[in-house]
Amino acid sequence: MRRQRKAKILATLGPSSSSPEMIRSLFEAGADVFRLNFSHGSHADHQRNVKIIRDLEKATDRPIGILMDLQGPKLRVGKMKDGAATLVAGRPFRIDLDDAPGDSTRAPLPHPEVFAALEVGTDLLLDDGKLRLRVTECGKDFAETVVETGGSLSDRKGVNVPGVILPISPLTEKDRKDLRFGLDLGVDYVGLSFVQRPEDVAEARRLIAGRAAIMSKIEKPAAVEALSELVELSDAIMVARGDLGVEMPPEEVPSRQKQIIQTCRLAGKPVVVATQMLDSMVHAPAPTRAEASDVATAVYDGADAVMLSAESAAGDYPLEAVGMMGRIIERTEADPSYKKVIHALTPEPEATAPDAISVAAAQVANTISAAAIVSYTTSGSTAKRAARERPDVPILVLTENIHTARRLAVTWGAHCVHTSDVHNFQEMVEKACRIAVHEEFAVTGNKLVITAGVPFGTPGATNVLRIAWVG
């Protein structure tokens, strides 16, 4: 099951992809991590999918990551008379806490925390940005606005307040129930929605208590402004371009994407690029050329992984979408200019033994044309350091911790094998060579660069580099 690429693929499960046969096919086609979207589906649905994935993991002897994506707060208008009303540009429009059905002059907005954060001049976006209002007067339970971009407003359409930090926790009561359920199932990552500030990640960290890693979703301008702190506090980052593209001008999203990827790369944190990557494949067997270029751009930028949402969850061609994404990644990474681009941003190593070893491993592997870098790790930090260097050779990760192996499924270039730890140097070399051959990374006569920590099994203690010949 060795992948012929370094960047990873996340595939969302849903109505189109929840049978054991389809999940196995998606994995064999290239999915490295499966996303469970808790905005949809029942707990029973998600529990069944987790069991299918874990049974597949045992059958294939390959660690598979599972991301539970929390819904987060959803701001929505209330009901409208006759189901919808037309807002006319230039006309006044009121929003308030009154739950009476709305019309062309007003609408209910049952979120007092929104009114608490509004100011004169604030923009309100309705229905994914299709309608735009500008606040002209506001109080604790109402806002008078003028319609800047009109159109039809129907029941329960979403509301975005760009440029404003709302006094809302990213975890609703539904999220907290979902989180407890997902942690009991043993998910590997928690996708944290509606992140606005570092305190949001800290709150989730307290609740999760180390039972899963946190993948913070960057989908609000406030999160971009606090990016460095959020990256530091999170275990991984997702560039959630759908909501981000609603709350900021679309022309800003590409440069922000690059900024987020670079920040994560420098910090050695995995970063996933998501939303509408192969969107036309929801209903078509092939993507547009622009979509193929979009995936390739994320790979050139150095993203650890790219994600399929509706394409694999509810589309007509989930298997073809995963296969296409894999082929785009492989072709991009085979481009002679890829190495130049990917190495243009080379992080400065920290003044620590693990960083020094990781940098040296990449250089030595390139110099001696090694078949692979073999990284022994307990916590996963050694493998992430190796991946941060974006070495030209594969990274074979050996760990006795199955949770570490699953979490590293999202990390660039990391091929994880769950195996018992070693106790001496001879065993370290013998096991590395044996597994490298078994996993089809090396043949007799190849060289391997091996990194580990002594004493063996000590988290974060990488201090050994060995060159081994496969006998």
430-452, pLDDT tens digit by residue? Answer: 999 999 999 999 999 999 999 99
388-421, pLDDT tens digit by residue? Answer: 999 999 999 999 999 999 999 999 999 999 999 8
Instruction: Decide: helix, strand or coil at residue 165.
Output: coil
Q: Of the residues 106, 217, 241, 407, which is catalytic?
A: 217
Tokens read off for 385: 């350091």
CA angle (340 as vertex; 336, 341 as ends), nearest 5:
105
Q: Of the residues 48, 76, 130, 197, which is catalytic?
A: 76
Q: Of the residues 5, 35, 256, 407, which is catalytic?
A: 35
* Residues β-bridged to residue 468: 448
Q: Of the residues 12, 122, 263, 275, which is catalytic?
A: 275
Residues of the chain with pLDDT under 70: none
CA angle (238 as vertex; 245, 316 as ends), nearest 5:
75
CA angle (264 as vertex; 262, 266 as ends), nearest 5:
70
Instruction: Decide: helix, strand or coil at residue 369.
Output: coil
Q: Is residue 269 within 8 Å of 410, Cβ to Cβ?
A: no
Q: Is residue 309 within 8 Å of 36, Cβ to Cβ?
A: no
Look up 217 and say whether it is catalytic: yes
Q: pLDDT value at position 355?
A: 87
Q: For the chain, which domains are there?
A: 8-72+170-333 (3.20.20.60), 81-160 (2.40.33.10), 353-469 (3.40.1380.20)
User: pTM for this structure?
Assistant: 0.94
Look up 76 and say whether it is catalytic: yes
